[in-house]
Structure 1
Amino acid sequence: MDNIEVLWDDQLVMGSFHKLKSLEVRRCNKLLNIVPSRILGWLKSLESLHVRSCGSLEVVFKLQPLNPLDGHPVAHFPLKKLELYELPELKCVWDKELYHQVKFQSLCYVTVWKCKSLASLFPASVAKDLIQLEELGIDECGIVELIAKEEGLVPRFDFSRLTSLKLNDLIELKCIYTGTHALRWPALKTLEVRGCNKVEILASQLENETSLHKQPLFLIEKVAFPSLETLVISVMDNIEVLWDDQLFVGSFHKLKSLEEHMLYVGLH
């Protein structure tokens, strides 16, 4: 659909598409966004969104300045599965302040692949609400930090149901979140970090942040990864430390498999 520019126009009657459960958009090279904010309130049943090979797409969820939510603020959006593939111009998933008005608490599965212009995936306000997230995979993207920094209090991110996290070939990735924060991954069983060559420290305790000259990928508040069973670290040219000496007792205590491949710098 090389010539399609808009999925839905301004004249649609309220209630349109209200039973839509799955939306797949492929090879629409003139589309700039997928879901404008004015129809978010209509998509009360949308559980799966798959977007692939849209060469001009800049944002998935677009905030519109005039009457952005059509007079009906959306407290909770039902989306469970989000897949974004081969979107070279994608700058952000959530536009501007939209994520302060809409909650994506139902997200369970997120996969992002070959989005070279995407510097971060989640705004902090979205990340704090991802209480149902179970699997997250990001490959070959321009991600610098997984969660974009916002001004305000020190954020706490509790990914209480996340069991699988895979970060592959993110050559710009430095950390999950820049600056002081607290992270919990109590259910995480599988962690893969491959080809993230700007990462120098894998995990460090929050209390040690002031003594670190380099930002770790994971800044841990208490026990680090208490449920982790499989850890894969591969092709990490600049990594110096996997974990510091101050991690709490119980960290990594369920680890069954540790794979290290092509790590060229001395590890501690």
Structure 2
Amino acid sequence: MMQDYPVLWFWNRLPHSLFSNLKNLTVTMCGFVKLIPFHVLRSLNHLEDLVVRDCYILEVIFDLEELNDYNGEIQPLVVVPLKTLILLDLPELQNVWSNNNNAPQGLVSFRCLQEVIASSCEKLNSIFPASIAKDMSCLEELKIKDCSIDVIVANQDGQASESVVDDDTLIVFPRLTFLYLDDLPNLRNFYPHRHRLKWPCLEELYVVFTDLDLFENEASSSSSAIHHEEMKPDSKYPLLSHEEDFPKLEVLYLEGEEARMMLNIQLPKSKFPKVKDLNLLQFGRTTNA
């Protein structure tokens, strides 16, 4: 019988404080749709590692819908201590964090996350909602493979769309060293509106078979284009900016269309001053440097 949540969370004889010292949680072959509701999440004061795999009906990992009930109320910030999140073979997973856009922002933070891995999640829409991504100060590794995502950071649903974007959204991952994007044919953008990405500590970048644009062309990077851009559903924004250098990048691996883009553009030598391992695989041809 399919259940919304694990029965364990709602067993009256077990107080939530029982899980306050839980450090590692592995969930396999589960039979429920949602994994952790907010009232349980806030009691997991020492949870550092969460692994979820082979759950064939699971749709949501962190259900934050309860936050909607706090609208207008002052609540203390809940900082989830989670450091590692691994999601494997979850064919029905649609959202890691459930939609909580009617709730006031800033009630929950996953700022301690250091490693996020998602693989074989065929219905996953995105990795982070914007409200979670803005506080990723400790994230060091992000690996996504064989998923259906079209963006990595999702726009806040319910936010009024505008025909013209006047300012860039700044997305910063100050400690990110490893970014791996593989077999993501629907991935068109990191974020669905014009934005600037900063990852000053990036050391390894792998982009294989996505629909991303690596760099923007000169016309779209001009100031007038940036500040008077018409938003369209099929707009694409580059993963890498001409304005940003990557002083610590040592490994760059591009395969497919991404490699062709790299071969056809001219970049200043200062862009990747420390690259030691460059691999460009284009339609069966490999370039190593």
TM band (smaller chain): 0.7 to 0.9
**Per-residue CA distance 1:190-239 (angstroms, 9 max, x = gap):** 0001121x23x212388448389962441537323221111101133895
Q: What are the equivalent positions in structure 2 for 1:218-229 lying under 5 Å apart?
A: 218-220=239-241, 222-229=243-250
Match of 1:106 among 109, 112, 119: 112
Q: Is 1:261 paired with 2:281?
A: yes
Conserved? CA contact 1:164–1:189, under 8 Å? yes
- List runs of 5+ in structure 2 lacking aligned partners: 161-166, 285-289
State the secondary structure of the residue aligned to 1:218. coil
Q: Which residue of 1 aligns with 2:131?
A: 125
State the secondary structure of the residue aligned to 1:144. coil
Q: Which residue of 2 aligns with 1:27?
A: 29
Instruction: Tell me the distance in 2 between the aligned counterparts of 1:258 and 1:214.
Output: 29
**Offset of 1:249 from its aligned partner?**
7.2
Instruction: Tell me the distance in 2 between the aligned counterparts of 1:228 and 1:74.
Output: 35
**Offset of 1:128 from its aligned partner?**
1.3
Instruction: Tell me the distance in 2 between the aligned counterparts of 1:175 and 1:67.
Output: 32
Moved more, 32-41 or 132-141: 32-41
Conserved? CA contact 2:141–2:179, under 8 Å? yes
Q: Which residue of 2 aligns with 1:116?
A: 122
Q: Identify if the C-alpha distance between structure 1 residues 228 and 204 changes in structure 2 by more than 3 Å, giving closer, same or farther.
A: farther
Residue identity opposite 1:135 in structure 2: E
Q: Identify if the C-alpha distance between structure 1 residues 67 and 4 changes in structure 2 by more than 3 Å, giving closer, same or farther.
A: closer
Instruction: Tell me the distance in 2 between the aligned counterparts of 1:225 and 1:100.
Output: 31
Instruction: Tell me the distance in 1 between the aligned counterparts of 2:113 and 2:168.
Output: 23
Conserved? CA contact 1:227–1:254, under 8 Å? yes
Instruction: Tell me the distance in 2 between the aligned counterparts of 1:243 and 1:204.
Output: 13
Instruction: Tell me the distance in 2 between the aligned counterparts of 1:121 and 1:167.
Output: 12
Match of 1:204 among 189, 213, 216: 216
Moved more, 207-216 or 184-193: 207-216
Q: Which residue of 2 aligns with 1:193?
A: 207
Q: Which residue of 2 aligns with 1:79?
A: 82
TM value normalised by structure 1: 0.84
Q: Which residue of 1 aligns with 2:287?
A: none
Match of 1:167 among 181, 195, 217: 181
State the secondary structure of the residue aligned to 1:140. strand
Percent of aligned positions with the same letter in both sequences?
A: 34
**Offset of 1:180 from its aligned partner?**
1.3
Conserved? CA contact 1:41–1:73, under 8 Å? no
Moved more, 86-95 or 222-231: 222-231
Conserved? CA contact 2:126–2:150, under 8 Å? yes
State the secondary structure of the residue aligned to 1:43. coil
- List runs of 5+ in structure 1 lacking aligned partners: none
**RMSD of aligned alpha carbons:** 3.3
Q: Which residue of 1 aligns with 2:15?
A: 13
More helix per residue: 2
Q: Identify if the C-alpha distance between structure 1 residues 101 and 243 changes in structure 2 by more than 3 Å, giving closer, same or farther.
A: farther
Q: Identify if the C-alpha distance between structure 1 residues 177 and 3 changes in structure 2 by more than 3 Å, giving closer, same or farther.
A: closer
Report the count of equivalent residues.
260
